[in-house]
Structure 1
């Protein structure tokens, strides 16, 4: 059975990133980490998001504040797309 948590140390080693980056994301409220005793863990549900943040930071040189701004804007875009879809569905019902 595969575990749903991975330590920051294991994750950073596997993806060749600095643990301080992950901690900075947590400190900024961008991701949530779980603490078990003295070790912090990442839940597998956050791997997709974390992959995006790694790309933004390491490939595009975007700082933590920029990542947070981009994340916020993308959440707004998603909410607006959902609202547009709901409005289209209601419009379709009334035609």
Structure 2
């Protein structure tokens, strides 16, 4: 199954953002763009993350480095929450 893609140009026009912002996210390794026929595309699967990054940057005025730090912290919190859930589940088996 082929991934659904949207051009950076189309996405930027629809969201009223600068293409340089998306390129900066890619340069920092925050998102992955696909190159097809010399045009860069965003996968539809990354659009939810993009909305978060747009909000952080344009609404809250957080720079790219800050977005990267926030992303790492949120990933860590998510992993810790999953670990806590797993540990609670394992503990409940022993408490009975």
Task: Give the C-alpha shift of residue 10 in structure 1.
Answer: 0.2
* TM-score normalised per structure 2: 0.95
Task: Give the C-alpha shift of residue 70 in structure 1.
Answer: 0.2
Aligned residue in 2 for 1:48: 48
Unpaired segments of 5 or more residues in structure 2?
Answer: none
* TM-score normalised per structure 1: 0.96
Report how many aligned residue pairs link the two structures. 93
Moved over 3 A (4+): none
Q: Distance in 1 between matches of 2:4 and 2:16?
A: 20
RMSD: 0.8
Unpaired segments of 5 or more residues in structure 1?
Answer: none
